Amino acid sequence: MKPKVIVYKKLDFTVLDFIREACEVVYFEELNEDTYESFYQELKDAKGILGSRLKVDQEFLEHAPQLKIVSNVSVGYDNFDIPAITSRDVMATNTPGVLNDTVADTIFGLMLAAARRMPELNQYVKEGKWSTTDGENLFGVDVHHKKLGIIGMGGVGMAIAKRAHFGFDMPILYHNRSRNLEAEQTFQATYCSLEELLRESDFVCLMTPLTPETVKLIGEKEFKLMKKSAIFVNGSRGATVDEEALVRALQNQDILAAGLDVFEQEPVQADHPLLSMDNVVTLPHIGSATHETRLKMAQLAAENLVRGVLGEIPPNLINPVVFQR
């Protein structure tokens, strides 16, 4: 008898077929008010679940007594209460690596768009405001040869550093929980304190995971340390930044501009003050959103799920202690 799993995210048919070869699949394209009741009914005897963003904590686990694995279609897993999951001997997995280059492309796009005012000037042209007398009012700032500070030198941070070093001749500062010798050797990146990075960088790129230690890591104090010409880019999670402090920093011209792929509340409210600022480039949390990369992420999540329900060690196990007991 095949183990029963629940997929609660729209997946390509090829990925679903892969899972169905080994498992009985209960499939929900999305979870909403119409599907939650059925989802929790099916959860009672499910061995594994696959999806993203769903909060998996002690309360959730009470509804899933037979669960062996939770598979996130994401590199981030702040929706997982890892201690609670581990205490139940449930495996937790994510999908790192396959999205690094795609997210790095997005982050560089935000840097370039903010520096060269591309969304603002795109609208300027489309509204018929362009004239032959336009001059310095359309100027932006260079990206090449400027100093880039990366907070969080993980896989995506490394991919950003690669683009900065080899493509834009940017000196790189980085702050991380520990030194990354590969970044230092390959990209001549310099390890430094957060304060030094904020003071010295022309571009500040936040790529840290969301943990209790990184909630509102960047706030009023940090923005005041930055250069007035600095451009701030957040590609991590919205909660790593104090958004009210960011609004004030932009309004007070403590920093020049910002590029944001993430917000504290998603979707962001239409009347949020950041959305009315010409010097803020905004995206709807689409860092990894290409067909190619999302398919790779889904396939990796599926491999994690199948391996886990079959009692094997998944490729991307977050809590290996469950196999060490």
What residues are annotated to the active site? 237, 266, 285
> What's the order of all strands across the beta sheet hosting 24-27?
24-27, 4-7, 48-51, 69-72, 91-93
Q: Are strands 280-282 and 190-191 parallel, antiparallel or unpaired?
A: unpaired
Nearest to 300 by CA among 49, 97, 26: 97
CA distance 241 to 224: 14
Angle made by CA atoms 252, 254, 255, in degrees to the nearest 5: 120
Structure tokens at 154: 């993980």
Q: Can you name the residues that pair with 218 across neighbouring β-strands?
A: 241
